[in-house]
Structures are given as C-alpha cells and as structure tokens.
C-alpha cells in the first residue's frame, strides 16, 4: 500500500508462502491401514498362487458338498486303491489283481508326492517374492533419506517450505508402510526417525538399517537388519502377509500331506509286514520313505507282485485276511490321522485352504473399504475440490460485478448532483 499525504492506494497482493494443510494423525492412521491392506493383499495373492498351483493335485468340493477332482483326483485315487484291494481279496493268488492294486498304490503315492512338490515350488515362489520386496524396501529407505536431506536444504533458515518434497515423502512413507509396519517420530535433534518395530531405519538423512536375505540350510530364507543383525519378523505389511502364509496355510497343507503319507506307511506297513507272500516270505513293508516327498511303493514288490504279503499264513496262498485288514484300515478312523480316515484328511486339506481363501478375501474387501473411506476423509481436508474452487471464483466474480455496478451508480449520482449545482 502506497501513501501520499492523506491518500493511500493499494498495490495488489504479494504471495509470501504456501502452507500445507495436513492432519498428521490421519496420515499416520492411513499409513497404518495401508500396512494392514498390504498384509492381506500379499496373503491373498499367495493364496491364489496356492489355489492355481495345487488345482491339478487337490480335489474341490462340489455344490452338493462332495469332494471331486476327476479320475486323477486324490479322492478318486483312494477309491481306486480300495477297489483294487477288493479285487485282490476276491482272488489273492491272481497276479493281475495284485498288479492292478500295486498300480493303484503307485498312482496314489505319486499324487501325494506331487502335492508335496507343488507346495515346495510355492515356497520357492514366495521366497522369490520376499527377495523382490526386500530390494524394493531398501530402495524406498534410501529415497526417504535423500528426501529428508533435500527438505532440510530447502527449509534451512525457515524462509521456505518444501511442500512438493514433503508430499513425495508422505507418498514414499506410505509405499514403505505397505511393505512393513512403520512408526514415525522426531529425535531429540529434531530429525525424523523412521522405525519398524524396535529397529530404527532412518534418522534424518542417515540410513541406519536395511534388510538382508539369508538362506536357511534346510531351504527357505530369513530376513535380518544389516546393522543390528536382528531378525525381521513383521506381523503386518506385504512382508507379514507372505511370512504368515508360509508359516500358516502353506505349512499346514504340507503337515497334513505328510500326515497322510506317514499314515499310509505306518498303518499299511504294520499290517503288510505281518503277512506272507506266495513264497512264504514275510516282514517286508509295502511302502518305503519317511514323508510325502519320499513316499513310494517298495520297488521289489512292484517288480514282483507275488511278494505282496496278502495271506495271514505262510502255506495258504488263497488266504486274504491281510488284505481284508487293509480294506478295514482304509475306512476306519485312525489314531495316526488324528481320529480321521484317509479321505477325511484330504477333505480337511481342501476345506482348510478354501476357508482361508474365503476369510482372507472378505477381510481384504472390508479393509479396502476402510482405507478408501480414510483417503476420502484426508482428501476433504488436504485436497483441492475443482467444483468448490469454481464456486468461489464465481462468487468473487459476482462480488466484483456488484461492486463495479455500485461504483457506477454512485458516479452517476455524483454527476447528477454536480450538474444541478451549476
């Protein structure tokens, strides 16, 4: 404003600074919710991997609640195994009946092995995903430190506010928060502290910790922080979802499959080893191996079906008591199977996976709705509404037009008064 004597004249408006309008508490809540969303998204993606990878080896429940998987499904193979046992029971001395049963047993063990193999492939795929996320998180940590340094340079002296850089920092913090749980605070020296759990990742422009992947001797990997060498075991974020899937649904599937394999070996070997082959030999196991990966029919019996120990007596080739015990064992609930029969173990594998997928999908949909609601709330505080701004512009335009019209009327009235006085 310029002043001359008793008169003054405006010189317009000068822009001094632009300040962000942000709700820090809401930003922290959104970052926390993104971590939960990331957890559910990565878990759901992993479950979809499982569903696709195991679709060829596991049955599904039909609309009437029955397990179905076609002729090569696990249920069909168990049924075929039992059916071929009945054929041997009807004619224990028949070589063709014995061979058919051994073929059915080999198909069944092959399916159990294949299930285990697919689960191991999924473990490797999840580990690859964890390795990729590790690289991504380390890049984001480095970017955050660089942004902190840039913001300090711009705002040194307190004359400017690095709004664009601060917006970038919020965005990267939320990206990193999607991967792992984060806590943001201010150190005594005024610098930003970024930490995950008890581990400090960044102090101002300094990176204090990044992630390292370390392979395990038995397979798989673990994550450690590089400086304090503590293990990284997140409960949230995409990392948390992948680790939860590995130790939860995928591990449980492998445990159940191993239970199935060991049950076959313990129960049927216990019966078969007490029987007698056609040549009177005894004590041989039907299955060999230690778990689902190594389970197979004894190669010697496959090569010579007469070694199948079907009789309970060494001198009765037509005796079928051992085979009858095997048939009973197939249908009975077994202590080795936690009080279930063999088909029920597989049914539990299918239903557990399906229930996990269903619950995770529902939780993800609810979480996405919550996050979207919070994003809209933040937008209403910090965002710019084009419609609202246009309304304000029209309002100011109308006010200007009204002022101009008033000035015109006053000018006209003054002119009339002056002309009357002449």
Q: What are phi and psi of 228, to 5 degrees?
A: -90, -5
Structure tokens at 344: 């029920």
CB atoms within 10 A of CB 361: 14
The pLDDT profile of the chain, 422 residues, written as one tens digit per residue, is 555 555 555 555 555 555 565 667 888 888 899 999 999 999 999 998 888 877 656 665 555 555 555 567 788 899 999 999 999 999 999 999 999 999 999 999 999 999 999 999 999 999 999 999 999 999 999 999 999 999 888 878 666 777 888 889 989 999 999 999 999 998 877 788 999 988 999 999 999 999 999 988 888 899 999 987 789 989 999 999 999 999 999 999 999 999 999 999 999 999 999 999 999 999 999 999 999 999 999 999 999 999 999 999 998 888 999 999 999 999 999 999 999 999 899 888 888 888 999 999 999 999 999 999 988 888 777 655 566 667 777 787 888 788 888 888 888 887 787 777 65
Distances from the Cα of 116 to the Cα of 198, 253, 256, 261, angstroms? 37, 9, 10, 10
- Contact between residue 202 and residue 148 where contact means Cβ atoms under 8 Å apart: yes
In the chain the first and final C-alpha atoms are separated, in Å, by 37
In whole angstroms, how large is the CA radius of gyration of the chain? 37
- Contact between residue 41 and residue 238 where contact means Cβ atoms under 8 Å apart: yes
CB atoms within 10 A of CB 226: 12
CA 71 to chain CA centroid, nearest Å:
32
| Model confidence, pTM | 0.80
**H, E, C per residue of 8-69:** EECCCCCCCCCCCCCCHHHHHHHHHHHHHHHHHHHHHHHHHHHHHHHCCCCCEECCCCCEEC
By residue count, the chain amounts to 422
The pLDDT value given to residue 71 = 61
Rounded CA gap, 246 and 220, in Å? 10
- Contact between residue 263 and residue 255 where contact means Cβ atoms under 8 Å apart: no
| E strand spans, 216-324 | 221-225, 287-288, 296-297
Question: Is residue 376 exposed (0-12), middle (13-18) or buried (19+ Cβ within 10 Å)?
Answer: exposed
The pLDDT value given to residue 39 = 95
Rounded CA gap, 112 and 131, in Å? 29
**H/E element holding 181?**
none
Residue 185's DSSP bridge partners are 193
Please tell me whether residue 198 adopts helix, strand or coil conformation.
Answer: coil
């Amino acid at each position: 404003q310029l002043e001359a004597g008793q008169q003054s004249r405006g010189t317009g408006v000068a822009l001094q600074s632009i300040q962000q309008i942000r709700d820090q508490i809401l930003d922290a809540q959104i970052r926390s919710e993104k971590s939960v969303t990331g957890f559910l998204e990565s878990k759901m993606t992993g479950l979809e991997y499982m569903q696709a990878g195991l679709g060829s080896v596991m049955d599904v429940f039909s609309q009437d609640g029955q397990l179905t998987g076609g002729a090569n499904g696990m249920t069909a193979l168990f049924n075929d195994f039992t059916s071929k046992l009945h054929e041997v029971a009807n004619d224990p001395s028949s070589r063709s009946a014995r061979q058919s049963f051994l073929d059915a047993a080999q198909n069944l063990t092959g399916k159990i092995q294949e299930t285990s193999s697919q689960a191991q492939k999924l473990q490797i795929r999840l580990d690859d995903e964890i390795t990729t996320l590790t690289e991504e998180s380390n890049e984001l940590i480095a970017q955050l430190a660089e942004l902190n340094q840039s913001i300090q340079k711009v705002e040194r002296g307190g004359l400017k506010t690095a709004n664009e850089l601060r917006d970038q920092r919020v965005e990267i913090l939320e990206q990193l928060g999607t991967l792992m749980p984060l806590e943001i605070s201010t150190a005594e020296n005024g610098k930003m502290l970024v930490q995950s759990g008890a581990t400090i990742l960044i102090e101002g422009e300094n990176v204090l910790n990044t992630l390292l992947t370390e392979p395990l001797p038995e397979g798989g990997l673990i994550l450690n922080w590089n400086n304090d060498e503590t293990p990284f075991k997140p409960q949230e974020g995409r990392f948390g979802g992948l680790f939860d899937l590995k130790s939860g649904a995928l591990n449980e599937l492998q445990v159940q499959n191993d239970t199935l394999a060991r049950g076959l070996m313990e129960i049927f070997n216990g019966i078969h080893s007490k029987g007698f082959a056609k040549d009177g030999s005894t004590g041989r196991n039907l299955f060999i191996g230690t778990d689902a990966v190594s389970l197979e029919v004894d190669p010697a019996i496959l090569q010579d079906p007469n070694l199948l120990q079907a009789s309970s007596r060494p001198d009765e080739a037509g005796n079928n008591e051992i085979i009858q015990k095997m048939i009973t064992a197939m249908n009975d609930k077994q202590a080795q199977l936690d009080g279930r029969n063999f088909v029920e173990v597989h049914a539990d594998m299918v239903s557990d996976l399906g229930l996990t997928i269903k619950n995770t999908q529902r939780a993800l949909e609810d979480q996405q709705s919550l996050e979207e609601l919070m994003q809209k709330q933040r937008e209403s505080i910090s965002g710019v509404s084009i419609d609202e701004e246009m309304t304000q512009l029209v309002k100011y335009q109308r006010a200007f037009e009204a002022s101009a019209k008033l000035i015109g009327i006053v000018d006209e009235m003054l002119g009339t008064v002056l002309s009357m006085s002449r």
